[in-house]
Structure 1
Amino acid sequence: MPHFDLTPDQRQQLFSDLLPQLEAYYTHTRDRRVAPRLDPEKIREAVARFDFTEPLGAGEAVKTVVDNLLEHQVHVPHPRYYGLYNPRANFPSILADLIAAYFNPQLAAWSHSPFAAEVETYLIREYGKKFGYDAASIDGTFTSGGAEANLTGILCALNHCYPDYANRGFRAFEGEPVVYCSDQAHHSVVKAARVVGLGLDSVVQIATDEHLCLSVTALRERLTADQRAGKVAVMVIATAGTTGTASIDALPEIADLCAAAGVWLHVDAAFGGAAALNPDYRHWLRGIDRADSITTDIHKWLSVPMGTGMFITRHPEILSQSFRTTAEYMPREGGSFSVVDPYTHTIQWSRRFLGLRMYLSLLVFGWEGYAATIRHHVEMGDYLREQLTTRGWTIAVDTPLPVVCFTWPGHPDPGTYAREICARVVESGEAWISVYPIRGVDVLRACITNYATTREDIDALVRLLDRVRQEAG
């Protein structure tokens, strides 16, 4: 039988070989192409070279993985990656993943990993306070990301609306259930509706206004009409930082409407929620403290490895009401303490110590470090808008968040032109941007996701855009 630990000397040698490679990548990411030239067959051949009948030496195996990741991925840690909300992971959070892998704490039963469980409980409470929640009522859970957090929100809203839902499922419905969100809401909402059995038709997408924010007037009218028709409003999902344009819905007005109608309000603040960590930007989220629950992603603006989200609620019993179950095989050593086993109030059962990525980062940088980093992102977004406007580009949507949607004015086919410009930028390997449809027409989109992005990087992007625009004619 192989020794799965390897020997101490082998482990030391592997680290001695691997760490310089990782450090070279981390230090010199900006020297690489941002995006690879895609060749599916080449990648499949690289993966399938091995049929696992003849084991490789550990060093060769590790080198194979590193070499292929260097060649075959979009380098989202690159400071000129202006794409989706993918971060450059700060170094303490990388160490956190290594530590978690070594200790491998099991976050299902509190008694198995009491330190890890209490770290996550503490972080949820402290982050909830940043949103304005009363500390005594805060509950929540770490999630794999915004999709799981939004799914958790829908399940909590269903259990709140139908107290016997956990037992009877759809048989508890006393009328046709409806979930409301804007037409700019994240698509995880409709996926979650399918997962819980409500179906796509249960999601009503409300039109947005000229700023691509949910229209409160349209929401009020639809709520009134549906209630008259005997439908049951399960929840309203507002967004603080939409995926496409980073628009922030009118949270105070939506909260007023939900309070008057007795409807659960969930705010998807997967990206924009981190604005709460900088006192100068907290007013952008005014009204979020009135939400019944909040989604926020730690792996976006807080710059930790992917797969780190958070669900927070001001209803301390709703997670247990939604997920509590018992299992005879689960450890019971913590039964005499006033503690909560994580598996009893989350979708997941056994899972990784996700909170360590945030905890170790906060230990090293503190809230002030994050506030400064968030300010830098915002300032880089403002600088990009300024430089684009100076060069003649038109900003398509106004948002304070560091997401810039823009277009070249006067082109007879602006959508096709935007896609061509985007393709040329990506193909150059010098930067990565995307396109997003606004009122049916594609525009260019650049998001500041990297704390290492500088003014020089912004200047390089603008020069690249000018160059490819001239090449495109």
Structure 2
Amino acid sequence: MSLVLNDGERDRAGARLLALLDDHERGLPTSHLLPDLDRPRLTELLNTPMPDKGIGVDGLFDEIVDTVLPNSTAVAHPRFLAYVLGPPNGIAPYAEAVAATINQNCNFWQLSPAASVIERSVLAWLGDVVGFPSTAGGILTGGGSLATLTGLATALHDRAPDFRATGLQGGGAPLVVYTSEEAHRSVDKAAVVLGLGIDHVRHVPTDDRYRMRVDALAEAVAADRRAGLRPFCVVATSGTVTTGSVDPLDAIADLCEAEDLWLHVDGAYGALFLLAEEKRELLGGCARADSITLDPHKLLFASLEAGCLLVRDAAKLRAAFAFSSSYLTVADDPLMTDYMDHGLQLSRDFKAFKVWSALRAFGVDAFREATERCLDLARHLGERVEATPGLDLLAPVVLTAVCFRMRGVDHTEVLATLAAEGTALLGPALVDGHDGIRVCVTNHRTTKADVDLIVDRLRELGKSDDVAEGVLVS
């Protein structure tokens, strides 16, 4: 049986796909945020053996429509606000289809010449947003965690010149990395994967705005040097995952220069707010980083996965990851980049295409406007919380994360109620020991009416004794 669709099957698959995309778009405002799981059907799906005979195009699309879609979370719903996860932009499904059709392996340029140039172009565009020089380079990754891992590996190779030959087995003094108490767990995970160990990650205290204290950082570095350890890297955060706080990047950069430390900025959440004029001063210190994590699948609303690492000096990234192999050798071309020499992967999909396609289709101004709208909505939410009796802000609204508490209620039950009735999917927060609720407005579909609906419902629930196990008792 052929693995190529015939003319009739292609026509049918195209028609079914277009109908699916149209139905999905039109149904979003009334869709269920969380699916009412059909556990028997999912169990049947799990237990179905690998089929010897196929079910054809229509059979497959029937299963997608009947089983996959009804049991999937509606991340594009305008009141899906629990996580830093926006909906994909409108061109994403079409760009993904093209990328799958040409199936470029973005490792060395001979297998993907146009893709190599497009990724290089996207990285240059993002470098311009950050303020990096023309010497910068980078790579598109599966997300912020992998970008941070790649950035720390680059730092290790640069600040421990014997690292490629001996790794952590060379017998030198232990290497130490510094980050804040509010840092993303990917920093700890990277330290474990790279063999540094959690014991050699210093979680620096934060101030009353949840920003890394530079005085405490300086003290920690000095103490480790006195103990004979090797400080080598600081991971600052532009947009902490809970409150959206931004570390004092310029002051940290000054310290890193004085102490000869690599500065990596985890900007997975917040760095692309540089698109908004109002945040450029706050985030301007990103330009001083040695490396930075960005997430196009957040504020550029690319479909998953699309993370990014940028390194100020591209040669240092290549020095960390380039290995020679005769069977992969191809002539150098000044127009092209062999991305197998810039990261962990050999086989790589064409992640840059969906980012490039969206920027080409919509223009960067559309993303600036979406970013500014998200900031405006977060401010509006913070103002509504402060003006509503029974609600208390737990942290300043710096970017688009809004953390607050409700007096006299169980936050877990409130969150379950909001999700069960379809009002909104919000998340829990723990801020300075206080339980609360977290709303993160990184959704280009969210409107002011959505924000007001949520606050009005919270006010009702705050006055009610009927919140129980996610269901309102009537």
TM-score (norm 2): 0.94
The one of 250, 257, 260 aligned to 1:259: 257
- 1:381 and 2:374 matched: no
Provide closer, same or farther for how the CA distance between residues 264 and 41 of structure 1 changes in structure 2, counting only shifts above 3 A: farther
Aligned twin of 1:185 = 183
Amino acid at match of 1:455: K
Whether the aligned pair in 1 keeps the contact of 2:16 and 2:61 (CA below 8 Å) is: no
User: Residues of 2 paired with 1:470 and 1:29: CA distance?
Assistant: 30
Give ranges in structure 1 of 5+ residues lacking alignment: none
Aligned twin of 2:212 = 214
The one of 383, 388, 411 aligned to 1:418: 411
Aligned twin of 2:471 = none
Deviates more, 1:279-288 or 1:147-156: 279-288
Whether the aligned pair in 1 keeps the contact of 2:271 and 2:286 (CA below 8 Å) is: no
Deviates more, 1:32-41 or 1:297-306: 32-41
Amino acid at match of 1:452: R
Aligned twin of 1:247 = 245
TM-superposed CA distance for 1:338, in Å, is: 6.3
Aligned twin of 2:156 = 158
Aligned twin of 1:395 = 393
User: Residues of 1 paired with 2:122 and 2:152: CA distance?
Assistant: 22
Amino acid at match of 2:16: D
Amino acid at match of 2:88: A
- 1:437 and 2:444 matched: no
Whether the aligned pair in 2 keeps the contact of 1:420 and 1:472 (CA below 8 Å) is: no
For 1:393-425, what per-residue CA distance to the aligned partner results, in whole angstroms no more than 9, with x for missing partners?
11111132111101124x4xx7xx222211221
Matches within 5 A, 1:48-59: 48-49=47-48, 51-59=50-58
TM-superposed CA distance for 1:470, in Å, is: 3.2
Name the SS of the counterpart of 2:168 in structure 1: helix
Whether the aligned pair in 2 keeps the contact of 1:88 and 1:450 (CA below 8 Å) is: yes
User: Residues of 1 paired with 2:35 and 2:363: CA distance?
Assistant: 36
Aligned twin of 2:165 = 167
RMSD (CA atoms): 1.7
Provide closer, same or farther for how the CA distance between residues 384 and 399 of structure 1 changes in structure 2, counting only shifts above 3 A: closer
Whether the aligned pair in 2 keeps the contact of 1:178 and 1:232 (CA below 8 Å) is: yes
Aligned twin of 1:224 = 222
TM-score (norm 1): 0.94
Whether the aligned pair in 1 keeps the contact of 2:232 and 2:260 (CA below 8 Å) is: no
Name the SS of the counterpart of 2:462 in structure 1: helix
Whether the aligned pair in 1 keeps the contact of 2:12 and 2:57 (CA below 8 Å) is: no
The one of 260, 265, 268 aligned to 2:266: 268
- 1:355 and 2:348 matched: no
Whether the aligned pair in 2 keeps the contact of 1:239 and 1:267 (CA below 8 Å) is: yes
- 1:471 and 2:448 matched: no
Amino acid at match of 2:405: T
Whether the aligned pair in 2 keeps the contact of 1:30 and 1:80 (CA below 8 Å) is: no
The one of 362, 368, 386 aligned to 1:371: 368
TM-superposed CA distance for 1:49, in Å, is: 4.1
User: Residues of 1 paired with 2:84 and 2:91: CA distance?
Assistant: 20
Whether the aligned pair in 1 keeps the contact of 2:107 and 2:347 (CA below 8 Å) is: yes
Whether the aligned pair in 1 keeps the contact of 2:81 and 2:440 (CA below 8 Å) is: yes
For 1:92-112, what per-residue CA distance to the aligned partner results, in whole angstroms no more than 9, with x for missing partners?
222111110001111011122
Name the SS of the counterpart of 1:287 in structure 2: helix
Q: Count residues in correspondence.
A: 465
For 1:110-160, what per-residue CA distance to the aligned partner results, in whole angstroms no more than 9, with x for missing partners?
12211111111121122112212122x111111110011000111011011
For 1:313-345, what per-residue CA distance to the aligned partner results, in whole angstroms no more than 9, with x for missing partners?
11221111110012222151x336564311011
Deviates more, 1:49-58 or 1:253-262: 49-58
TM-superposed CA distance for 1:441, in Å, is: 2.6
User: Residues of 2 paired with 1:145 and 1:360: CA distance?
Assistant: 19
TM-superposed CA distance for 1:459, in Å, is: 1.4
User: Residues of 1 paired with 2:155 and 2:333: CA distance?
Assistant: 31
Aligned twin of 1:238 = 236
- 1:20 and 2:13 matched: no
Provide closer, same or farther for how the CA distance between residues 3 and 246 of structure 1 changes in structure 2, counting only shifts above 3 A: same
Amino acid at match of 2:381: L
Give ranges in structure 2 of 5+ residues lacking alignment: 467-474
Amino acid at match of 2:450: D
Name the SS of the counterpart of 2:54 in structure 1: coil
TM-superposed CA distance for 1:74, in Å, is: 1.8
Whether the aligned pair in 2 keeps the contact of 1:421 and 1:472 (CA below 8 Å) is: no
TM-superposed CA distance for 1:457, in Å, is: 0.9
Aligned twin of 2:469 = none
The one of 415, 437, 445 aligned to 1:452: 445
User: Residues of 2 paired with 1:155 and 1:426: CA distance?
Assistant: 40
Deviates more, 1:56-65 or 1:256-265: 56-65
User: Residues of 1 paired with 2:334 and 2:251: CA distance?
Assistant: 42
